[in-house]
């Protein structure tokens, strides 16, 4: 059907519905003029000691997961109670959602808003008022140990998902996007310098922080451990003062990352790092007195930081047992049915089908007599990192048990990793669950590292190699030698190089760390109850060398305009699986791209049709590339995406809007955003390397012309 033949009854799906994403975000309803006045009145009554109390945490270890800061009963000021983190509330038990990179694979901003809202509500129910999330450090290299906590290698995608999370969570509590900025190598995070030029910083590594602050009204920001251009982030005036407050009008407070996130007293406060967490080491009475006496620090600076904290306390109507004008919710919201189903929905939408040779999936129960489930991870609660983002649910659905439940009547046998696999040939199908755990990747905690050897403590850190650890590869190799049909399910928090063995498997699924209902979500995918709809938020290269050099011991990381798929495009490498890629049990056609100018934007519409036999969802992606540009540019950049769910034969129109502002480059000389006169190619399709539709526009003399 051509565009003119489209029925006007076909639904129009908006790729990004700002009104519903922003809805209920408490920060956006604050009457700033009134709060400014009230804050000044209160500050005028505060002594220096009371102000100092507002700029540091109370004790180094959390109480029931809550880190306290400030608060003074005599002034009617409640303390901050901060709780991690990006995949759920780290306080007591809580709903364990799939990790952020899994949710990123859903490309579903509304889902991310709902997840943020659920985590915010559970944090409030546990007595917290600041959620130490989302993590939005761009995934410069997939070997980063904390890749699972963030969203992707693309700033637009990270910006949309981060904004959605912030808006959802700020229905209930303050958020704290972190770690500002350029925190993307874990092992050396306390000493590392991220080197970057102004254009790359503004165009690639900061836009997602800007969205969370400017559009989402994020009430606080956590600074990072590392240095940027040789200056620690916690005492970096360019980041904290010039950009965050100057350019973006940030009204919140900046808290340090924990312990080693504050490196100095006067330089940190002068730069605008308002609140030392988890306690006052650098901001101790003694250090502050000394800095004041030496003239390195003025009382006005302490006043300024205390004021930022107090401002947010008044704005958020903070009480001991209330925040955002609401009383502490009943603890029954924690792991309530609604949140567990939301975790399940996120897990289902996050699983990426990477290979399905001969349509081996979905498995038809009626036609299957026996299934071998292989690997220790099949019977493990593998929820990901055990550093600060760890969440403890009361129960976890594991793959083995979920497969057994879903395949009632079928013979299902488990083969642990070290079992003899010679009998696998007896089984109709073999499902190997392999991948990574918190021991292979995650937050790096040096003290725990030493004690960790055989214990359950956090270890993690970066992955020097993107291939699976040898024992995991060995399980796949041995199973592939025997299995009749082999399905491999990978668990992990980032890209895993699969080249060595992927040609010997029939089907391959990336299931990430799927949260507490991940096992059941996987089973529903394997048996076809749900069609896979996740898409890769990170490129899977054929070999590690397709990415930029990666040294996990490095004390310096050089940044350029080309993270992720931009790098492979730039170098002319073809990945194993591109950014945005994922298969389905059905097929989709995307057609009839119509582009119109509307104000200062392009409104782009495409028709999407489910051309297969099963219901399913796809993710339509829009990229823009410039030709004839006078400056270095990535070949293409993601500028829009939207999920469309359709029954077989059904069709919908997806609308994606690209603002002229989204096409600007940062001109470091004038410190301003400029729209270059050149040719802009808009390309639309179903992955970064499957973009069949194209429209080209020439910008010249302040106007646009289709070419
Ligand atoms: C992490 C932060 C976390 C904080 C508090 C730090 O080590 O880098 O992401 O929020 O600890 O647990």
pLDDT per position as a tens digit, 51-63: 999 999 999 999 9
Return the pLDDT at 9: 62
Which of the four pLDDT bands, split at 50, 70 and 90, describes residue 460?
A: confident
For a pocket test of ligand 1, which of 66, 84, 177, 182 has the largest count of ligand atoms closer than 8 A to its C-beta?
Answer: 84
pLDDT digits (tens, 9 = 90+) for 477-500: 999 999 999 999 999 999 999 999
pLDDT class of 451 with cuts at 50, 70, 90: low
Distance 132 CA to ligand 1 centre (A): 8
Ligand 1: does its nearest atom lie under 6 Å from the Cβ of 276? no
Query: According to the model, what pLDDT value does residue 354 have?
Result: 99
Q: Report which protein residue has its CA nearest ligand 1's atom 3.
A: 388
Give the nearest ligand 1 atom to 62 CA: 12
Please give the average per-residue pLDDT across 610-631, as a whole number.
97
Contacts of 553 (CB under 8 A, 6+ apart): 187, 188
Question: Is 70 exceeded by the pLDDT of residue 4?
Answer: no
By alpha-carbon position, which residue is closest to atom 4 of ligand 1?
A: 258
> For atom 11 of ligand 1, which residue has the closest CA?
258
**Model confidence band, residue 444 (pLDDT cutoffs 50, 70, 90):** confident
Which pLDDT score is estimated for 11?
83
Task: Kindly give the distance from the C-alpha atom of residue 186 to the centroid of ligand 1, in angstroms, as a whole number.
Answer: 12
In the predicted model, is pLDDT for residue 194 greater than 80? yes
Tokens representing 336?
A: 């309530």
Q: Which atom of ligand 1 is nearest to the CA of 90?
A: 12
In this structure, the residue with its CA closest to atom 9 of ligand 1 is 388
Contact present, 127 and 328 (Cβ < 8 Å): yes
pLDDT at 457 over 90: no
- Ranges of H-type helices in 433-564: 446-452, 470-480, 499-502, 518-526
CA-nearest residue, atom 12 of ligand 1: 388
Distance 535 CA to ligand 1 centre (A): 28
Residue 173 predicted with pLDDT over 90: yes
Residue 3: pLDDT band (50, 70, 90) is very low
Distance 226 CA to ligand 1 centre (A): 13
Atom of ligand 1 nearest to the CA of 135: 9
Which of 119, 150, 443 is the pocket-test mutation for ligand 1 (most atoms within 8 Å of CB)? 443
Of 338, 342, 343, 341, nearest to 515 by C-alpha is: 343
Residue 257 in contact with ligand 1 by CB distance below 6 A: yes
Q: What's the chain's average pLDDT?
A: 96
pLDDT at 1: 34
- Return the structure tokens found at 274: 């308002």
For residue 464, the CA-to-ligand 1 centroid distance in Å is 22
Tell me: pLDDT of 417 over 60.
yes
Tell me what the mean pLDDT of segment 539-543 comes to. 98
Show Cβ contacts of residue 538 under 8 Å, excluding neighbours closer than 6 positions: 101, 139, 142, 147, 152, 153, 494, 495, 564, 579
**Is the model's pLDDT at 8 over the cut of 90?**
no
The 10s digit of each residue's pLDDT in 18-71 is: 999 999 999 999 999 999 999 999 999 999 999 999 999 999 999 999 999 999
Give the count of alpha carbons within 13 A of 63, CB side only.
9
User: How much is the pLDDT for 494?
Assistant: 98
What's the gap in Å between 149 CA and the centre of ligand 1? 11
Q: If you write DSSP's letter for every residue of 594-607 in order, what string do you get?
A: EEEEETTEEEEEEE
DSSP 551-572: -TT-SEEE--S--THHHHHHHT
Q: Is 224 in the pocket of ligand 1 (CB under 6 A)?
A: no
Tokens of 46: 């505060």
pLDDT, tens digit (0-9, with 9 covering 90-100), for 558-615? 999 999 999 999 999 999 999 999 999 999 999 999 999 999 999 999 999 999 999 9
Q: What are phi and psi of 56, to 5 degrees?
A: -155, 155
- Measuring from atom 8 of ligand 1, which residue has the nearest CA? 257
- Residue whose CB lies within 8 A of the most ligand 1 atoms, among 65, 387, 447, 460, for a mutation test: 387
- For the stretch 109-166, pLDDT in tens is 999 999 999 999 999 999 999 999 999 999 999 999 999 999 999 999 999 999 999 9
Mean pLDDT of the region 1-5: 36
Active site residues: 257
Q: How far is the CA of 88 from the centre of ligand 1 (A)?
A: 14
Does the pLDDT value for residue 455 go beyond 70? no
The SS3 assignment for 115 reads helix
Ligand 1 atom with the smallest distance to the CA of 85 is 10
Hey, which of 388, 389, 460, 461 would you mutate to test ligand 1's pocket, going by the most ligand atoms within 8 Å of its Cβ? 388
Q: Ligand 1 centroid to 74 CA: how many Å?
A: 31
Q: How far is the CA of 260 from the centre of ligand 1 (A)?
A: 10
Rounded to whole angstroms, the maximal C-alpha distance in the chain is: 81
For a mutational test of ligand 1's pocket, the pick from 60, 132, 442, i.e. the residue with the most ligand atoms closer than 8 A to its C-beta, is 132
User: Counting atoms of ligand 1 from 1, which one is nearest the CA of 278?
Assistant: 5
Q: Is there an atom of ligand 1 within 6 Å of 212 CB?
A: no
Whole-angstrom distance, CA of residue 164 vs CA of residue 115:
9
The string of DSSP codes covering 246-298 is IIT---SEEEPPTTTT---SHHHHHHT--BBSSB-STT-HHHHHHHHHHTSS-
Q: Is the CB of 132 under 6 A from ligand 1?
A: yes
pLDDT, tens digit (0-9, with 9 covering 90-100), for 197-217: 999 999 999 999 999 999 999
- What pLDDT is stored for residue 2 in this prediction? 35
Say if ligand 1 is within 6 A of residue 388 CB.
yes
Nearest CA to ligand 1 atom 7: 258
Reported confidence tier of residue 5, pLDDT bands at 50, 70, 90 = very low
User: Does the pLDDT value for residue 6 go beyond 90?
Assistant: no
Q: How far is the CA of 258 from the centre of ligand 1 (A)?
A: 6
- The rounded percent of the chain whose pLDDT value lies above 70 is 97
C-beta 84 within 6 A of ligand 1: yes
Express each pLDDT in 83-116 by its tens digit.
Answer: 999 999 999 999 999 999 999 999 999 999 999 9
* SS3 label, residue 415: strand
């Amino acid at each position: 059907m051509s565009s003119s033949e489209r029925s006007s009854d076909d639904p129009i799906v908006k790729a990004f519905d700002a009104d519903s994403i922003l809805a209920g975000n408490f920060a956006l309803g604050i009457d700033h003029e009134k709060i400014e006045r009230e804050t000044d009145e209160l500050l005028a009554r505060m002594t220096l000691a009371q102000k100092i109390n507002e700029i540091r945490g109370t004790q180094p270890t959390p109480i029931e997961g809550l880190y306290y800061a400030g608060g003074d009963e005599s002034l009617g000021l409640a303390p901050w109670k901060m709780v991690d983190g990006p995949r759920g509330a780290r306080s007591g038990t809580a709903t364990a959602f799939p990790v952020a990179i899994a949710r990123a694979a859903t490309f579903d901003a509304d889902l991310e808003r709902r997840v943020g809202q659920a985590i915010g509500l559970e944090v409030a129910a546990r007595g917290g008022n600041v959620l130490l999330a989302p993590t939005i450090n761009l995934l410069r290299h997939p070997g980063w140990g904390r890749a699972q906590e963030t969203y992707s290698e693309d700033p637009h995608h990270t910006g949309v998902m981060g904004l959605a999370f912030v808006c959802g969570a700020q229905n209930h509590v303050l958020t704290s996007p972190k770690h500002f900025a350029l925190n993307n190598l874990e092992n050396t995070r306390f000493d590392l310098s991220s080197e970057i030029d102004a254009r790359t910083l503004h165009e690639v590594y900061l836009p997602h922080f800007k969205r969370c602050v400017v559009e989402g009204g994020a009430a606080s920001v956590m600074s990072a451990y590392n240095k940027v251009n040789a200056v620690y982030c916690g005492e970096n005036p360019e980041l904290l003062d010039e950009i965050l407050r100057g350019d973006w009008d940030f009204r919140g407070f900046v808290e340090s990352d924990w312990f080693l996130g504050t490196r100095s007293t006067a330089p940190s406060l002068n730069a605008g790092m308002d609140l030392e967490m988890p306690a006052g080491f650098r901001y101790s009475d003694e250090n502050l007195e000394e800095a004041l006496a030496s003239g390195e620090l003025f009382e006005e600076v302490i006043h300024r930081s205390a004021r930022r904290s107090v401002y947010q306390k008044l704005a958020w109507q903070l009480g001991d047992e209330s925040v955002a004008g609401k009383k502490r919710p009943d603890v029954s919201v924690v792991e309530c049915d609604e949140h567990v189903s939301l975790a399940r929905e996120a897990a289902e939408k996050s699983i990426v089908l990477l290979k399905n040779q001969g349509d081996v999936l979905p498995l038809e129960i009626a036609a299957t007599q026996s299934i071998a489930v292989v690997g220790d991870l099949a019977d493990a609660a593998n929820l990901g990192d055990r550093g600060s983002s760890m969440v403890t649910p009361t129960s976890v659905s594991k793959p083995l048990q979920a497969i057994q439940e879903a395949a009632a009547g079928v013979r299902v046998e488990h083969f642990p990793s070290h079992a003899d696999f010679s009998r696998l040939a007896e089984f109709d199908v073999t499902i190997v669950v392999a991948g990574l755990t918190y021991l292979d990747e995650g937050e790096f905690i040096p003290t725990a590292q030493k004690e960790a050897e055989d214990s359950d403590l956090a270890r993690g850190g970066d992955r020097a190699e993107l291939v699976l650890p040898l024992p995991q590869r060995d399980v796949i190799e041995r199973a592939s030698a025997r299995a009749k049909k082999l399905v491999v399910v990978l668990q992990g928090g980032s890209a895993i190089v699969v080249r060595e063995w992927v040609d010997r498997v029939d089907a391959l699924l990336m299931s990430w760390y799927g949260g507490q209902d991940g096992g059941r979500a996987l089973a529903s995918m394997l048996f076809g109850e749900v069609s896979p709809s996740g898409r890769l938020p990170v490129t899977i290269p054929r070999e590690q060398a397709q990415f930029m050099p990666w040294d996990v011991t490095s004390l310096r990381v050089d940044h350029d305009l080309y993270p992720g798929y931009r790098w492979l495009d730039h170098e002319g490498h073809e990945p194993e699986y591109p950014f945005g890629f994922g298969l389905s049990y059905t097929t989709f056609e995307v057609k009839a791209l119509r582009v119109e100018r509307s104000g200062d934007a392009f409104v782009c519409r495409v028709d999407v049709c489910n051309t297969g036999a099963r219901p399913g969802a796809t993710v339509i992606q829009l990229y823009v590339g410039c030709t004839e540009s006078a400056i270095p540019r990535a070949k293409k950049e993601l500028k829009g995406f939207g999920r469309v769910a359709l029954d077989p034969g059904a069709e919908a129109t997806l609308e994606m809007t690209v603002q002229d502002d989204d096409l600007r480059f940062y001109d470091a000389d004038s410190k301003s955003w400029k729209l270059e006169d050149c040719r802009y190619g808009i390309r639309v399709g179903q992955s970064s390397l499957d973009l069949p539709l194209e429209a080209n526009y020439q910008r010249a003399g302040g106007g646009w012309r289709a070419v």
